[in-house]
């Protein structure tokens, strides 16, 4: 189903999660989209941003 039917499916959920993350962290969209699994350290609670606007 699609958003016209009132159901967004997995894609809508992922987009909503991305927007919430961007808002709460201050990440730019390009920075968030360039993240990889290796940039996330759940044990230490760290997120490594490698491609920034000024880098």
The pLDDT tens digits for 12-51 are: 777 777 777 777 888 888 888 888 889 989 899 888 888 7
Question: How far is the C-alpha of 10 from the C-alpha of 8, rounded, in Å?
Answer: 7
| Residue 1: per-residue pLDDT | 44
* Residue 32 DSSP SS3: helix
Running DSSP on this structure, what letter comes out for residue 30? H
| Residue 11: per-residue pLDDT | 65
Q: State both tokens at 4.
A: 């016209």
Of 25 and 8, the structure prediction assigns the larger pLDDT to 25
| Residue 4: per-residue pLDDT | 52
């Amino acid at each position: 189903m699609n958003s016209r039917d009132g159901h967004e499916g997995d894609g809508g959920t992922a987009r909503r999660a991305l927007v919430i993350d961007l808002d709460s962290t201050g990440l730019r969209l390009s920075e968030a989209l360039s993240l990889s699994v290796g940039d996330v350290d759940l044990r230490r609670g760290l997120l490594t941003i490698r491609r920034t606007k000024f880098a």
